[in-house]
Structure 1
Amino acid sequence: MIYAVNKTEYEDLVSVWESSVKSTHHFLAKEDFEFYKKLIPSFFENLILHCVKNEKEQIVGFMGTDKDNLEMLFVHESEIGKGFGKKLLVYAIDNLNIKKVDVNKDNPQAIDFYTRFGFETKSVSDVDGFGKPYPILHLVLKSN
């Protein structure tokens, strides 16, 4: 089941983000990891946040959306591959009209994930939104 995120759960989201990024973003320099970790909570206020919980009612994955953009989707390292990301993405496509997502070019696991759900590369940026040297693939959901 997908839940709306409460502000009191932001700390849990940061923990999920940290675990997920450490597991999947091996290309990220340590100082950049710390830079993004400080920024992440400031994004939450501007996004519609949803999460998925395990049987213990712990948040194991979350996503943030803005209009038709999936701005972030992260699953705790220990829960990757168990279908939580799929639940979030399918919910986003079916209920939130998500059509676009940006992915680090150096994160093949994420690229494969979104490609399986019908996303394709529309364009590429050489740097991320902060001007850091992490190329970004701009993906769009293929029309049926």
Structure 2
Amino acid sequence: MIAIRKSRPSDGERILEIWRNAVDSTHDFLTPEDRAALDALVSGFLPSASSWLAVDGSDHPIGFMLMDTGHMDALFVDPAVHGTGVGAALVRHGLALHPGMTTDVNEQNGRAIIFYERMGFRRIGRSARDGQGRPYPLVHLAHGR
């Protein structure tokens, strides 16, 4: 059973662990230097960021989502539970709060693009670089029409 709840300060290290494991599993396009730079950036804010967590029956975090006024800034799921509906549960929760939710996904992460399109997102644009100006193109997505 997957439950969704707000993060607590005590969840910070687990959230960072999920991020690291998920990035290592899905972002093989990153150079080692960019992966290290992102880790330094993310570890500076992620553990204390307010997020929505997917937790298992023991209240153990297995995925998280960062939202900012209808834009999903991040969705990461522990690779041990990929394909079990955790990401979909988080997205459905976000859509219940913000039906026209938007997000961005790395163009090189084809599995993520397929996932979002199956969840009802459509492509609305593209950027040649990621949010840090690195050469990792982003696909901009919006839910609904």
What's the % identity of the aligned pairs? 31
What residue number does 1:132 align with?
Answer: 134
Match of 1:88 among 82, 87, 90: 90
RMSD in angstroms over aligned alpha carbons?
1.7
User: What do residues 47-76 of structure 1 show as CA deviations (whole Å, max 9, x unaligned)?
Assistant: 641101123322110000000100000001
Q: Whole-Å Cα distance in 1 between the matches of residues 123 and 12 of structure 2?
A: 31
**Residue matched to 2:15:** 13
Q: Map of 1:1-144 to 2, 5 A cutoff?
A: 1-44=3-46, 48-97=50-99, 99-143=101-145
Distance 2:50 2:71 in 1: 10
Which deviates further from its counterpart, 89-98 or 13-22?
Answer: 89-98
Question: Would the aligned equivalents of 1:47 and 1:65 in 2 still touch at CA under 8 Å?
Answer: no
Offset of 1:97 from its aligned partner?
4.0
Aligned mates of 1:42, 1:100 — CA distance in 2: 25
Cα distance in 2 between the residues matched to 1:106 and 1:100: 18
Matched-pair contact (CA < 8 Å) for 1:69–1:100 = yes
Which letter maps to 1:135?
P
C-alpha separation in 1, matches of 2:126 and 2:48? 24
Amino acid at match of 1:40: V
CA contact (8 A) 2:12 2:48 kept: no
Tell me: CA distance 1:45–1:55, structure 2 relative to 1, closer, same or farther (3 Å): closer
Point out 4+ residue stretches in structure 1 off by more than 3 angstroms: 41-48
In the TM superposition, residue 33 of structure 1 has moved relative to its aligned partner by 1.1
TM-score normalised by L of structure 1: 0.92
Unaligned runs of 5+ in 2: none
The residue type equivalent to 1:27 in the other structure is F
Letter in 1 for 2:101: K
Q: CA deviation at 1:116?
A: 0.5
Distance in 1 (alpha carbons) for counterparts of 2:49 and 2:71:
10
Partner-residue secondary structure (3-state), 2:139 = strand
Task: Single out whichever of 44-53 and 68-77 deviates more from structure 2.
Answer: 44-53
Report how many aligned residue pairs link the two structures: 143
After TM superposition, give the deviation of residue 43 of structure 1 in Å.
Answer: 4.3
